[in-house]
Amino acid sequence: MSSKTYGTNKCLEINEDSFKMYIPTEEHIMVIEALLNVKDCPLPLAVDMYEKTILPSIEDESMDDYNEMIESLTYDYFSVCNKEENAFVDWSLLKNKIAFSPNYFKIFEDPEIGLWIAYEALLLVFTMYPDHYAADYQPFAYKDNDFCVHAEGDHVIIFAPEDF
């Protein structure tokens, strides 16, 4: 395996024949990184752009692989949906300022997959809470590896439990 650099992220080049997973094209990597770098954008708008612009741009021949990738994402919605037991915040006030813990990217075969899963997780939060009021901590797992999305101040922190 060799390494490649996409923007500021260095990742391993993966032989597509040896793994059954979604491997984004260089064009899609540039788009997801570009979205991540629009820090002053309101988070609901960034997630909406992801859902309505980026996802529809995935070619038909890649859609099965993409769907297989996101099937490994699980959301423990019921553990945080009770307003009496959890601190609810207004996620519409957040910016697209997303920070990742070091161990978050170790969950994935390729760090770029972690970027896609981050926006998929955020999309699930906004789908489940259309009024944008949700618990400040949102628990997820990818292939049985837990991670959490946390709203703090005007930004989001996505972390693996061992980093907290």
Mean pLDDT across 121-129: 97
User: How many Cα neighbours within 13 Å face the side chain of 128?
Assistant: 16
Give me the sign of the Cα torsion angle 47, 149, 136, 40.
negative
Confidence of residue 29 (pLDDT cuts 50, 70, 90): low
Confidence of residue 73 (pLDDT cuts 50, 70, 90): very high
- Please choose, from the candidates 35, 39, 24, the residue with its C-alpha nearest in 3D space to the C-alpha of residue 112: 24
Say if residue 5's pLDDT is above 60: no
Say if residue 17's pLDDT is above 50: no
Q: Mean pLDDT of all residues in the chain?
A: 83
For residues 99 and 101, give the distance between their C-alpha atoms in angstroms, rounded to a whole number: 7
The pair of structure tokens assigned to 152 is: 């703090």
In the chain, the DSSP E strands lie at 3-6, 9-12, 73-75, 88-90, 98-100, 133-135, 137-142, 145-152, 155-159
User: pLDDT of 106-116, one tens digit each?
Assistant: 999 888 899 99
**0.75 exceeded by pTM:** yes
**Angle of helix 111-128 versus helix 60-71 axis, rounded to 10:** 80
Contact between residue 94 and residue 53 where contact means Cβ atoms under 8 Å apart:
no
**Residue bearing the bigger pLDDT, 22 or 126:** 126
